[in-house]
Amino acid sequence: MPYSNRTVRIIVSAISIPLILFLTYLGGIWFLAFVTAIALISGYELLKLSEQKNASPDYFTSFLLSLILILNFYFVFISFKYLLLIAVLLILAIELFRNKGSAIINIGVLLISLFYVSFFAGSIIGIREYYSYNAFLYDQGGYIIIALFITIWVCDSAAYFLGTAFGKHKLFPRVSPNKSWEGAAAGFIFSIITMMALQSLLTDFITVADAIIIGTIVGIFGQLGDLVESILKRDSGVKDSSSIIPGHGGIMDRFDSLLYCSPMVYLYLSFVINN
């Protein structure tokens, strides 16, 4: 008897969640490889979506620049302002010689992939490596990422189940017709509650106020990330970014919220918590 889609989802989650948390705790090269895989596969999925809009994306250039950008968050071999300048110049110059489809669309797709996927994914590395200057504090970056994962999962679950049970007012029907304001509010509230609970259990090196603000970031930007990816898929006429994960869709489908809220958490960590 074939497994149902729900059974497949449960099995995949039971295997992947402990692995994700373990790699996050390990940090270092292992976590770098994990996030690099997220970025490169998500970037590939985004470029494939663009083909539904008659784009002819340059996969090699996108792959190469994304890899360099992600690695730079870990090894920091060049200033990001110079790296981004060089990347944009290369994308424009290379398109000059390709002569495939619409140059404007091709350039736009690569820039979106670079900034939305790769640069945002790099901020995940930035959070994990934020305390790398001190071996005794290094694990704290991992605890923050683990807290983000857990909070996002709780936010998604609360928004789905409570939205299904009590949702009356459509949140953004043009983009995601099944989401409601009630579900979004539930996700937002549970994000803050979860991060506050984790502050005492996992991330006691930050204050309760910090936990509330990070929970707020997840509750707002995590859900925005889901909507942003939804509008890209809807515009491309597809349900999932790919089918690489059985029962779950694509990599971008699973990590859209983390990709979108991580830059804000990284900025908050950099300019507020430790200054």
Residue 12 has pLDDT above 90, yes or no: no
Q: What is the mean pLDDT of the chain?
A: 92
Q: Band of the pLDDT at 274, cuts 50, 70, 90?
A: low
Helices (H), 167-250: 181-201, 208-217, 223-236
- Kindly list the distances between the CA atom of residue 9 and the CA atoms of 17, 24, 119, 257, in Å, as whole numbers in the listed order: 12, 21, 29, 18
Which helix (H) or strand (E) is 179 found in, with range? Answer: strand 176-180
Give the pLDDT score at 1. 38
Give the pLDDT score at 4. 60
If DSSP codes are grouped into helix, strand and coil, which group holds residue 171? Answer: strand
Name the residue range of residue 107's domain: 5-273
* Range with the largest mean pLDDT of 11-15, 32-36, 231-235: 32-36
Contact 254, 156 (CB under 8 A): no
Query: Dihedral, CA atoms, 14, 20, 26, 29, nearest 10 degrees?
Result: 140
Q: How large is the average pLDDT for residues 29-46?
A: 96
If 0-12 CB within 10 Å is exposed, 13-18 middle and 19+ buried, where does residue 38 land?
buried
Give the pLDDT score at 2. 47
pLDDT digits (tens, 9 = 90+) for 200-256: 999 999 999 999 999 999 999 999 999 999 999 998 988 888 888 887 888 999 999
Residue type for position 67: L
- Give the count of domains, the chain: 1
**Nearby residues of 267 by Cβ (< 8 Å), 6 or more positions away:** none
Q: How large is the average pLDDT for residues 121-137?
A: 94
pLDDT digits (tens, 9 = 90+) for 155-196: 999 999 999 999 888 988 888 888 999 999 999 999 999 999
